Structure formats: structure tokens, C-alpha cells
Homo-oligomer: A and B are copies of this chain.
């Protein structure tokens, strides 16, 4: 039997505990698949004495997390601390600097520092792996990096945040409003006490920027992701969308073409016949569209200790098997640097919801703004709202450049007819 792969583990939260449990439960099978045992030899976390439901006394304890990189005989360091900078980044740099494999679930760190870390890893041909950083247990990094590698990928998109999808699909099922469902999700532990990272789309944006880089062979640019979360989605948006044949999902979408690289996280209307419309609860899903393979669809659990541990250990098995290569599928210096596409020139259909005063002339005002901006209307619904005597207007445009819709909104801005902020959502092409 070959030598074991010796692993040091930083971070013993939910996922860290999951990794230990997984390696215990599936030990024999993993040894057969990896060709050698995978053994945790040292661990580190903030609090040594917290009860984690797993026995950690059998591992060497290290107080300073970043010192794990320097333990003699360790082949690979797994980082499950989180945070884009701080100890996680220090540990990453030290580990790669010491010529050891580095595996992480840390999407924020990869989104911000992935390229500079990959340069260090590539230069020495050592593994830098982050399957767990995107879509939890779904092997989508591998699916794109390797499975779809023969394709020019034109579009990659998906449901990348389970908390948002849980909230949106619960709103859909129960007809309830955002704030109420968020509160319930927090009480159940499905959403953080400070939920902004999830519901404002930042977490999805981190993941999207990683997928985009792998899909297009372009340098990762997190600050190129235009991000809008789901705070302003109301129950009526979802029910009106449903009446029109759509479901509302927070979609991260990246596209590369002649116009450049486009990356956006935004609540979208998804046609019922699209597989993303059937992704419910906290599931994640990713679609990659390739010029030969067509549309690939991956779905599974996007978070949780078991699924995330599954992805982390899959990376360890790749390392143990010696089946790995450049972190971003090609050396960093081979990555392209496309222009950022002008979103104003993108053509699509749009869903617009307005809350207005219910009086003569309002409809004309909206219709005029649309006409003057060159936006043609496909569907139009007006409903009286009993509670405040106002009205809800929902309209779907024909396909037009995005700048026209933005222009129409500008023309309506400040109008005394509007009683609240308009809600604009993109309609996902089939």
C-alpha cells in the first residue's frame, strides 16, 4: 500500500466536523478509490475545547492556524476558516510557499486572491483546489474545468445561493413576503443572523466569478460582477411572474462574446420550461452552455456539512491520486483578459413592477415613458391594491437593449405617480 496522504485541517466548524466524519465513515472506500489512505494528522481552530461531536484528541493540535503549513510530513492543508483575507489567506500563502497542496471551500478568498495563489501553485506544480467553494457538493468546478473542457463555453449561469433560493421558493409556495420568510429562515438556521452576504448576492457573485474564469479561460474579476440581491422582491412579483409562466430565482449569469465579458447576479424570471425553474428549496444548480456539448445542467445540495465535506474530500482524493493540474484549468499567464461588456447593449426581455397611485393619467405617463425610451410592451397587468388604494402595475417588455429600459425608468424617476421604487427583473432566455 502506498504512503497515506497526510492532511492538516484548519477550521473545525460545521464543515470541518463533516470532513472528519466523512473520512471516518468512508475510510475503507476512500482508500480503495484514492489508492492510499487519507489521514488527518493535525487540526487547528479558534477554540480547542468546544464540543464538536467528533473526537479530535487523536490529532495533533496547533494553536496558530497558520502554523499548520509548517508541520513536518503534512502533504496537504485544508482551509475551512473562511474570510477573504486574514488567517485563511496567510495559511494559503504559507502552505503553497512550503510546496504543499492547498484545498479550500473559501469562495471569498478565491474570488479575491485566487489568481495570485494559483500563480504560486502553478509555478511549483502543486495542487490548489476549491471544488467546495462553488455550489457545495455539486462537482461543477470539475464538470466545467474537465468535463466540458473541449467546449468554448458561451454562457454559464445558475442558482448559486441556497439561502436565497429557499427564501424565494418559500415565498412562492406560501405567498408570503420577503421579511417574514427571512425571519423564519433565520430562526430555522437556514439564514445567518446577518444575512446580507447571502441576500444581497455577494456570495453568489463570488461563486459566479470563479465559474466565469473557469468557463471562459479568462482572468477572474470579482469586481466585474454587477450584483443585486433579493431584498426588494415582493410576494406580488412572484405571483404575477407565475401568472405569466415564470418563476423568480436569484440567477448568477456570465457570458462571453464579442461584446466582452458580462457577469451579473440578479433576480430573474425563469421560464417554467427551463430546468432552473424546478430548482426548489436550498438546492443549487449550474448550467453551462458549450458550442459542442449544448446545455449541461448540474444540480445538488449547495451547502451543509455533508455536501461541502464531500467536495473537500473529492479534492483530497484527486490530490492523493495525483490527478490535478492548474487551478484555473490553464496556467494563470494563459488566461485571457476580456473587456467588460457594456450591459446597456445587452438585448433581452424585462419584467417591471411599479406601484402607483390609482388616478387618471398614470397609465398614460408610464406608456409615454416607455414609448419615448423605445421600449415596446408585450404584456401589461394593472391590479388595484385594496390596502392603500394604490395600484400595482406589472409589465413585460419585448426584447430590447437594456439601456432603453434603464432610460424608461429614468424618465419615470421622481414622478409623483410612483408610490415606491420600481422593481426591474431580467427574463432568462430559454
Chain A residues engaging chain B, CB cutoff 8 angstroms = 18, 22, 25-26, 29-30, 32-35, 131, 137-139, 142-143, 146-152, 217, 275, 278, 290-301, 304, 306-307, 309-314, 316-318, 321-326, 329-331, 334
Q: Which of B278, B310, B326, B330 contacts A278 (CB 8 A)?
A: B278
Chain B hits for A291, CB < 8 A: 25-26, 306
Chain B hits for A316, CB < 8 A: 150
- Tell me whether A292 and B314 are in contact in the complex, defined as CB-CB below 8 angstroms, given that A33-B149, A139-B146, A147-B143 are known contacts: no
- Whether the pair A313, B150 counts as a contact (CB closer than 8 A) is yes
- In whole angstroms, how far apart are the Cα atoms of A316 and B149 in the complex? 10
Chain B hits for A138, CB < 8 A: 147, 296
Chain B hits for A30, CB < 8 A: 149-150
Which residue of chain B is the closest to A38 with respect to CB atoms?
Answer: B150
- Whether the pair A26, B151 counts as a contact (CB closer than 8 A) is yes
Chain B hits for A32, CB < 8 A: 217, 330, 334
Chain B hits for A313, CB < 8 A: 149-150, 292
- Whether the pair B293, A301 counts as a contact (CB closer than 8 A) is yes
Which residue of chain B is the closest to A317 with respect to CB atoms?
Answer: B149
Q: Which of B34, B310, B322 contacts A148 (CB 8 A)?
A: B310
Q: Which of B290, B300, B306 contacts A297 (CB 8 A)?
A: B300
- Tell me whether A26 and B152 are in contact in the complex, defined as CB-CB below 8 angstroms, given that A143-B147, A292-B310, A299-B297 are known contacts: yes
The copy count of this chain in the complex is 2
- In whole angstroms, how far apart are the Cα atoms of A239 and B318 in the complex? 47
21 contacts across the A-B interface (CB closer than 8 A): A25-B291, A26-B151, A26-B292, A33-B330, A139-B146, A139-B148, A142-B142, A142-B143, A146-B318, A146-B323, A147-B314, A150-B310, A150-B312, A150-B317, A151-B310, A290-B310, A291-B306, A293-B301, A293-B310, A295-B300, A296-B300
- Whether the pair B325, A325 counts as a contact (CB closer than 8 A) is no
Chain B hits for A298, CB < 8 A: 143, 296-299
- Whether the pair B142, A146 counts as a contact (CB closer than 8 A) is yes
- In whole angstroms, how far apart are the Cα atoms of A139 and B307 in the complex? 19
Which residue of chain B is the closest to A144 with respect to CB atoms?
Answer: B139
- Whether the pair B139, A329 counts as a contact (CB closer than 8 A) is no
When A and B form their complex, which 8 residue pairs have the shortest distance between CB atoms, in order from nearest? A139-B147, A150-B313, A293-B310, A137-B293, A297-B299, A292-B306, A292-B310, A296-B300
Chain B hits for A137, CB < 8 A: 290, 292-294, 296
Q: Which of A25, A290, A293, A326 has the most CB of B within 10 A?
A: A293
- Tell me whether A293 and B275 are in contact in the complex, defined as CB-CB below 8 angstroms, given that A149-B33, A149-B314, A217-B29 are known contacts: no
- In whole angstroms, how far apart are the Cα atoms of A301 and B278 in the complex? 18
Q: How far is the CB of A40 from chain B (nearest CB, A)?
A: 14
- Whether the pair B143, A139 counts as a contact (CB closer than 8 A) is yes
Q: How far is the CB of A194 from chain B (nearest CB, A)?
A: 27
Chain B hits for A330, CB < 8 A: 32-33, 35
- Whether the pair A293, B300 counts as a contact (CB closer than 8 A) is yes
- Whether the pair B296, A299 counts as a contact (CB closer than 8 A) is yes
Which residue of chain B is the closest to A305 with respect to CB atoms?
Answer: B292
Chain B hits for A295, CB < 8 A: 300-301
Chain B hits for A292, CB < 8 A: 18, 22, 25-26, 137, 306-307, 309-310, 313
Q: How far is the CB of A91 from chain B (nearest CB, A)?
A: 22
Q: How far is the CB of A145 from chain B (nearest CB, A)?
A: 8
- In whole angstroms, how far apart are the Cα atoms of A147 and B312 in the complex? 10
Chain B hits for A299, CB < 8 A: 275, 296-299
Chain B hits for A149, CB < 8 A: 30, 33-34, 313-314, 317
- In whole angstroms, how far apart are the Cα atoms of A152 and B23 in the complex? 11
Q: How far is the CB of A169 from chain B (nearest CB, A)?
A: 12
- Whether the pair B294, A325 counts as a contact (CB closer than 8 A) is no
Q: How far is the CB of A256 from chain B (nearest CB, A)?
A: 11
Chain B hits for A307, CB < 8 A: 292-294
Chain B hits for A312, CB < 8 A: 150
Chain B hits for A301, CB < 8 A: 293-295
Q: How far is the CB of A1 from chain B (nearest CB, A)?
A: 11
Q: Which of B34, B35, B217, B293 contacts A306 (CB 8 A)?
A: B293
